[in-house]
Each structure stands twice: as structure tokens, then as C-alpha cells.
């Protein structure tokens, strides 16, 4: 039987790199993308014949051309897994950090996800998975652009899931929402409680995609937290001092 083909954006480090390793180990044809080509090439060494490398910046105009080039070199695509993202704690509200986050997590995300949607719609089927965050489930004042852009991602995936139903395409969507994970993204000298290992989060994400889960919060403690903070009325929430 032909092996399934998956492309992962943001496979150079952190959660995306661990997810890529799992798909490689499980016999998939794996396309890996990101800006740091040397890290992609290192990952390819794990299984040179099954791993396909494409240097790609999701904020660049040629991103979709490069994405299509990778799809073609793999002979097609079954799953697109969007992991690329940036974020900052930004209590001083640095303007550049906010704009850069919006650019990558909204514009870059939309560029890649809409391309994957249209590709799968034309093909008649496919699966789009994304690492968003629990940060999108409530407005977090300590990281405004990060929290708001993750909300955008949650919402956009829901819009496309409904659009897929309207257009009667067979596209599956999985929105994966982890709490804090020990990766470079949080390497900023702040203290983060309930920190999870990236290997654990990748395994849970892999399982959620295999089970075609629509939404998966990782882990159960964060699931409880999200349920609890959704119950807090906005007038109280906006007075809380939540920061790390
Ligand atoms: N760490 C957490 O606590 C946590 C929690 C929930 C959700 N997440 C989400 O998980 C995802 C992965 O983050 P991480 O924690 O694993 O941090 P990370 O190690 O910093 O990984 C970020 C990944 O995104 C890629 N990326 C960033 N900008 C890009 C661009 N313009 N074009 C292409 N790729 C780009 C990076 O690749 P290059 O730099 O090589 O391009 C890297 O592979 C992010 O979307 C993040 O929001 C993280």
C-alpha cells in the first residue's frame, strides 16, 4: 500500500520537529518546511528516502509556489499540518512584536491554510491540522497579539470546516490547542506553570490527527482550566492580573 503523505510547516524546532519525527517513524512520506534549512536537512537524515525538504517562509509571497513544489515532489498530499508560529509576552506592548506576530500567525497562516484548502477541495479530500493554542480561548492581556491571533486561527478553522460542508468537500479539520510547552517560544526567562514536554505534546497531537478529532486541548489540566475560565464573566476577567 502507498504510504500516506503529510507536509508539516514549522518542522525545524519545538513541537513541529517532534511531530515530524513521529510521522517519519510511522512510515509516512513526510514533507518538512521552515526557514532554517540546516535543521530541515538534519531531520532528513533520519530517513532520506521518505523525507522531503523545502525551505519556506510563510510570510513570503513565494510561499505557496514553494509549497506546491514540495507537494509535486512528493507526488501529492493527504495531510497538511500547520505548526509555524511566533509569539511574545508583551506587557510593554512593543509595536514591532505585535505586528510581526499578526503577520505570521494571521497572514502567513491564512496564506498556507487557504492554499491547502483549495488544493484539497480540488482533490476532493484531505486533512488540515494546526497547532493553535489555548491562548485563543480567552483574551490574554500579557500577550495581546499572540492571544488574538490564536483566536483568529481557532475561528478560521471553524469557518473553513463549515465552508467545507457548504461545498460538500471531504476535508477534515483538527485544531490542536496545547497549554504551555517547553520550547524556544517560551525561552524568555518567565516562569511558566504546568509546563509540558514537547515530545508528549507531539504524541497527543499525532493521536488527535489519527482519530480525526475536530478540537483537542492538551492536556487534561488545561482542558479543565479552559472550561473554568470560559465561565468567568468578561467584566471580572478584564480586571484580573494574569501574567507570568
Ligand atoms: N510553546 C508553547 O507553549 C506553545 C503552546 C501552544 C501553542 N504553541 C504553538 O506551537 C507552534 C510551534 O511553536 P513551538 O512552541 O514549537 O516554538 P518554536 O520551537 O519556536 O517553533 C516555531 C516554528 O515555527 C516556524 N516558523 C516561525 N516563523 C515562520 C515563518 N515565517 N515561516 C515558516 N516557519 C516559521 C519556525 O521555523 P523557522 O524559524 O525555521 O522558520 C519553527 O519551526 C506555534 O504555532 C506556537 O504558537 C506553542
Give pLDDT, residue 188. Answer: 82
d(CA 159, CA 63): 23
Average pLDDT estimate for 133-151: 97
**How many independent structural domains does the chain possess?**
1
Domain annotation covers residue 39: yes
Q: Which domain holds residue 192?
A: 5-237
For all residues of the chain together, what is the average pLDDT? Answer: 96
pLDDT band of 1, cuts 50, 70, 90: low
Residue with CA nearest ligand 1 atom 19:
14
- Index of the ligand 1 atom closest to the CA of residue 180: 3
- CB of 31 closer than 6 A to ligand 1? no
Please tell me the predicted confidence (pLDDT) of residue 190. Answer: 83
Mean pLDDT along residues 83-88: 98
User: Is ligand 1 within 6 A of the CB of residue 41?
Assistant: no
Query: How much of the chain exceeds pLDDT 90, in percent?
Result: 94
Over residues 49-76, the pLDDT tens digits come to: 999 999 999 999 999 999 999 999 999 9
Q: Which CATH number covers residue 202?
A: 3.40.50.720
| pLDDT higher than threshold 70 for residue 12 | yes
Considering the domain boundaries, does residue 243 fall inside one?
no
**Burial bucket for residue 95 (CB in 10 Å: 0-12, 13-18, 19+):** exposed
In a domain, residue 229? The reply is yes
pLDDT digits (tens, 9 = 90+) for 156-180: 999 999 999 999 999 999 999 999 9
Taking the complete model, does pTM exceed 0.85, yes or no? yes
The Cα–Cα gap between 133 and 217 comes to 8
Nearest-atom index, ligand 1, CA of 87: 47
pLDDT tens digits for 123-136?
999 999 999 999 99
Contacts of 10 (CB under 8 A, 6+ apart): 16, 33, 34, 82, 83, 84, 85, 131
pLDDT at 242: 80
Q: Is residue 244 part of a domain?
A: no
Pocket flag, ligand 1, residue 136 (CB < 6 Å) = no
Q: Give the model confidence (pLDDT) of 180-205 as tens digits.
A: 999 999 988 888 889 999 999 999 99
Q: Helix, strand, coil: what percent of the chain each, to 5?
A: 50, 15, 35
Amino acid at each position: 500500500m502507498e504510504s500516506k503523505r503529510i507536509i508539516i510547516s514549522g518542522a525545524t524546532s519545538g513541537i513541529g520537529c517532534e511531530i515530524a519525527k513521529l510521522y517519519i517513524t510511522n512510515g509516512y512520506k513526510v514533507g518538512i518546511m521552515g526557514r532554517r534549512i540546516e535543521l530541515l536537512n538534519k531531520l532528513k537524515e533520519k530517513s532520506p528516502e521518505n523525507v522531503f525538504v523545502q525551505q519556506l517562509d510563510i510570510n513570503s509571497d513565494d510561499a505557496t509556489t514553494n509549497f506546491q513544489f514540495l507537494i509535486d515532489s512528493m507526488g501529492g498530499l493527504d495531510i497538511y499540518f500547520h505548526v509555524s508560529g511566533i509569539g511574545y509576552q508583551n506587557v510593554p506592548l512593543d509595536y514591532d512584536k505585535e505586528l510581526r506576530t499578526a503577520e505570521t500567525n494571521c497572514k502567513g497562516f491564512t496564506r498556507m491554510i487557504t492554499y491547502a484548502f483549495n488544493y484539497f477541495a480540488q482533490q476532493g479530500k484531505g486533512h488540515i491540522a494546526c497547532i493553535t493554542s489555548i491562548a485563543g480561548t480567552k483574551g490574554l492581556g500579557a500577550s495581546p497579539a499572540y492571544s488574538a491571533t490564536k483566536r483568529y486561527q481557532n475561528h478560521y478553522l471553524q469557518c473553513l470546516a463549515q465552508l467545507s460542508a457548504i461545498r460538500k468537500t471531504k476535508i477534515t479539520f483538527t485544531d490542536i490547542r496545547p497549554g504551555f510547552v517547553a520550547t524556544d517560544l517560551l525561552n524568555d526567562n518567565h516562569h511558566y506553570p504546568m509546563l509540558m514536554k514537547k515530545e508528549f505534546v507531539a504524541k497527543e497531537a499525532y493521536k488527535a490527527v489519527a482519530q480525526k478529532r475536530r478540537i483537542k486541548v492538551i492536556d487534561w489540566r488545561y482542558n479543565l482550566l479552559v472550561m473554568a475560565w470560559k465561565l468567568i464573566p468578561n467584566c471580572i476577567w478584564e480586571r484580573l492580573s494574569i501574567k507570568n
